[in-house]
Chains A and B, each alone.
Chain A
Amino acid sequence: MKRKWSRWSLAAGALALSATAFAQTPAQTPPTPEMVSFACAGCHGTNGGSAGLLMPSLASQSKESIVDAMKKFQSGERTSTIMGRLAKGFTEADFEAMGEFFSKQKFHATNQKLDKAKVKKGAELQEANCSRCHLDDGKDGKDDTPVMASQWLPYLQMQMDMYLSGARKMPEQMAEKVKPLSREELDALLHFYASVK
């Protein structure tokens, strides 16, 4: 069963409200997916397919996951180096358009140098621990769960470090699975996801 981990439906209500609040400000024509999203490619790669090494790919992420991330960056709930600063310049209608755009882009496969033993170990661990939410070997980004397949390893490692240190808030039910695992096991899992094409 697929489940939603965010309060997405609640947020949608709030969104409608703030959309009116923004009605007089920036764009006079509604933002189109291309107009608001092409500009992200300078950092995230053309159509959200990152060439590495630390910038994450956005291509084929679900709409919800992009919108959710942008809102958390904007509010400061999710710690960031630069995304929070950028997100403040956009409206929630912009976020929707970005989600619309990136969710329609082709999955971006990467070729990374990875430790084969770790990849193998991760492949064994993922089924029991992560596959409930990170579907189809991390290729399917449903609801607010980001695509992890082929994501750049250094980025995934940094995000995991942030989860473990508390700098990024981990979804509770993910934490239940993550906490019992050792650092080595988690790193093996990230290696596995990075290897999926």
Chain B
Amino acid sequence: MTLDRRNFIKLLGGASGLALAGHAAAQGKAPAVSAGSAAEIMPKGSARRVVVIGGGYGGTIAAKYLRMLDKSIEVVLIERNKEFVSCPFSNFYIAGLMPDMKALTIKYDKLAANHGIKMLHADATAIDAAAKMVVTSQGRLAYDRLVVSPGIDFMTDEIEGYDAKTPEIFPHAWKAGPQSALLRKQLQAMKDGGTVVIGVPLMPFRCPPGPYERACLISSYLKKHKPKSKLIMLDANPDVVSKKGLFTKAWNSYYKDIFQYVGGQVTKVDTKAKIVVADNFDDYEVAVANVIPPQRAGNIAVAAGLTDDKKRWCPVDAISFESTIHKDIHVLGDATLLPSDGGAMPKSGYSANSQAKVCAINIVALMNGKPTTELSAINACYSAVSETESVSVSHVFKVVNGKIKITASAVSPADFSIAKIEKAYGESWLKNVMTEMST
């Protein structure tokens, strides 16, 4: 795919030297970003320094484990927001099954204090790989190694009529927070008998089971509160891409009268007429539209020329997640493209968490001139199929010949015999993973 210029200019916010960098990235070359005239902040002392961009599932864990493993390395965590809201479990909130987003929200103060991490609440706008500098809205700062875990941004140009205002009317809710609140509000305000559409983009996207879990929970909400309504899922993929047997079972046995799964990619939106158009030759008149646009690595990764143009993601090695384009820059989480031999690591919070630890172990080894250790990683993901039942998928990953290989992969039993227990285990997972990120 080609990266569009418009987005670049937007994200680069007008700084002219940087707009050039964006252009270079759009051509698929590593941009010659210069840290420019921004004032230097937090001047580096004699200690070695790792800067981490992004205080989400990957970044918090990388920062924490780096400090746990080697206190002599200074760690600066750059995050634009004061609070982080978790996407995992946000579908429960959207479907009205959580009073608020408290259980999904963490702050950074304890994490920073417990581990001596220096927080910098700022927007990272560019990376000067040659000078080893990150440019932020507060000024520029130097690093010895940089970890980038920015999550995703959207390729909205692939949908006709989609502009900056579209998500205010057709929320994607694929980044948790105000978008989740908006979708919830729209569902609650909708009259019984309305049509809700969920548009699923082509793979790869953040959280493959996420849209299907959302379909279950919204269906469950409609069944209970607005039983004359319909939920239509337009899936751009040829088939359900995750836990297919389990989700289709839930749809068929619980939500038959509400839910319909339809093949089709959303190609056009009209927020005024409230119409969603799909490439299956159908137009859908909607009361609520949850259009999830196609995704790529977060803007900063694109601006820094860390992405492989065709793949939209950042190619990295499977040792320390070091970029294959820029030295001393490591990329984690949703943004990555890993060498894999049959089965990639899903773009999940669990993967990002597990990758961050592998990355931290091997960054510390590299910075201390020690041998690296071969990756061993886990992904696990609990998804709700109803208000009271969840199912899970789990993977174990090892590396063979420099490529990631799945050594075990399995889903919950198809008869939902443990689904009630897994609902409880899923809640405990959230508690533990959020505690990991915030303490």
Q: Which residues of A contact B (CB under 8 A)?
A: 25-29, 31-32, 34-36, 38-46, 50-55, 81-82, 85-90, 94, 154, 158
The reply on B252 being an interface residue by CB < 8 A is no
B410 touches A42 (CB 8 A): no
Q: Give the chain B neighbours of A38 by CB distance below 8 A.
A: 65, 354, 357-358, 361
A46 touches B396 (CB 8 A): no
Q: Give the chain B neighbours of A52 by CB distance below 8 A.
A: 428, 431-432
A89 touches B374 (CB 8 A): no
A46 touches B422 (CB 8 A): no
Q: Give the chain B neighbours of A31 by CB distance below 8 A.
A: 373-374, 376
B408 touches A51 (CB 8 A): no
Whole-angstrom distance between the alpha carbons of A94 and B376 in the complex? 10
Whole-angstrom distance between the alpha carbons of A34 and B354 in the complex? 12
Tell whether A46 pairs with B439 under 8 Å between CB atoms, given A28-B374, A55-B429, A90-B396. Answer: yes
Whole-angstrom distance between the alpha carbons of A107 and B371 in the complex? 31
Interface string of B418-438 (1 = CB under 8 A from A): 100110110111011101100
The reply on B398 being an interface residue by CB < 8 A is yes
Q: Give the chain A neighbours of B428 by CB distance below 8 A.
A: 43, 50, 52-55
27 A-B contact pairs sorted by A residue (CB < 8 Å): A26-B399, A27-B376, A27-B398, A28-B400, A29-B371, A29-B374, A39-B354, A39-B376, A40-B378, A41-B432, A41-B436, A42-B353, A42-B354, A42-B432, A42-B433, A43-B428, A52-B431, A54-B427, A55-B425, A81-B425, A85-B408, A86-B380, A87-B408, A88-B396, A89-B398, A90-B376, A90-B408
Q: Give the chain B neighbours of A45 by CB distance below 8 A.
A: 432, 435-436
B394 touches A85 (CB 8 A): yes
The reply on B2 being an interface residue by CB < 8 A is no
Q: Give the chain B neighbours of A50 by CB distance below 8 A.
A: 428, 432
Q: Give the chain A neighbours of B408 by CB distance below 8 A.
A: 85-90
Whole-angstrom distance between the alpha carbons of A55 and B358 in the complex? 23
Q: Give the interface centre of A29, A38, A52, A94 by most chain B CB atoms within 10 Å.
A: A38
B400 touches A26 (CB 8 A): yes
Whole-angstrom distance between the alpha carbons of A82 and B361 in the complex? 26
Q: Give the interface centre of A27, A28, A39, A51 by most chain B CB atoms within 10 Å.
A: A39
B431 touches A53 (CB 8 A): yes
The reply on B412 being an interface residue by CB < 8 A is yes
The reply on B313 being an interface residue by CB < 8 A is no
Q: Kindly provide the distance from the CB of B368 to the nearest chain A CB, expressed in whole angstroms.
A: 14
The reply on B223 being an interface residue by CB < 8 A is no
Tell whether A86 pairs with B361 under 8 Å between CB atoms, given A51-B431, A81-B422, A81-B425. Answer: no
A90 touches B421 (CB 8 A): no
Q: For residue B424, which residue of chain A has the nearest CB?
A: A54
Q: Kindly provide the distance from the CB of A177 to the nearest chain B CB, expressed in whole angstroms.
A: 27
B394 touches A86 (CB 8 A): yes
Q: Give the chain B neighbours of A154 by CB distance below 8 A.
A: 424
A43 touches B407 (CB 8 A): no
Whole-angstrom distance between the alpha carbons of A43 and B426 in the complex? 9
B431 touches A42 (CB 8 A): no
Whole-angstrom distance between the alpha carbons of A43 and B382 in the complex? 11
Partner of B380, one of A32, A43, A94: A43
Q: Kindly provide the distance from the CB of A173 to the nearest chain B CB, expressed in whole angstroms.
A: 28
Partner of B378, one of A54, A81, A86, A158: A86
Q: Give the chain B neighbours of A32 by CB distance below 8 A.
A: 361, 373
Q: Give the interface centre of A41, A90, A154 by most chain B CB atoms within 10 Å.
A: A41
Q: Give the chain A neighbours of B427 by CB distance below 8 A.
A: 53-54
Tell whether A89 pairs with B407 under 8 Å between CB atoms, given A38-B65, A54-B425. Answer: yes
Tell whether A82 pairs with B373 under 8 Å between CB atoms, given A42-B380, A42-B436, A50-B432. Answer: no
Whole-angstrom distance between the alpha carbons of A132 and B400 in the complex? 46
B432 touches A39 (CB 8 A): no
Whole-angstrom distance between the alpha carbons of A94 and B65 in the complex? 20
Q: For residue A32, which residue of chain B has the nearest CB?
A: B373
Tell whether A46 pairs with B436 under 8 Å between CB atoms, given A26-B407, A89-B407. Answer: yes
Q: For residue A34, which residue of chain B has the nearest CB?
A: B361
Whole-angstrom distance between the alpha carbons of A15 and B400 in the complex? 22
Interface string of B294-312 (1 = CB under 8 A from A): 0000000000000000000
Given A26-B398, A35-B375, A89-B408; 6 other pairs, CB 8 A cutoff: A28-B374, A28-B400, A43-B425, A81-B412, A88-B408, A89-B397
Whole-angstrom distance between the alpha carbons of A88 and B396 in the complex? 8
Q: Kindly provide the distance from the CB of A123 to the nearest chain B CB, expressed in whole angstroms.
A: 27
Q: Give the chain A neighbours of B354 by CB distance below 8 A.
A: 38-39, 42
Q: For residue B421, which residue of chain A has the nearest CB?
A: A81
Q: For residue A80, which residue of chain B has the nearest CB?
A: B418
Q: Kindly provide the distance from the CB of A153 to the nearest chain B CB, expressed in whole angstroms.
A: 13
Tell whether A39 pairs with B377 under 8 Å between CB atoms, given A45-B435, A45-B436, A46-B439. Answer: yes
Q: Give the chain B neighbours of A90 by CB distance below 8 A.
A: 376, 396, 407-408
Partner of B432, one of A25, A51, A89: A51
Q: Kindly provide the distance from the CB of A91 to the nearest chain B CB, expressed in whole angstroms.
A: 9
Q: Kindly provide the distance from the CB of A57 to the nearest chain B CB, expressed in whole angstroms.
A: 10
Q: Kindly provide the distance from the CB of A1 to the nearest chain B CB, expressed in whole angstroms.
A: 37
Whole-angstrom distance between the alpha carbons of A52 and B435 in the complex? 10
- 5 closest A-B pairs by beta carbon, nearest first, are A89-B396, A89-B408, A26-B398, A38-B357, A89-B407
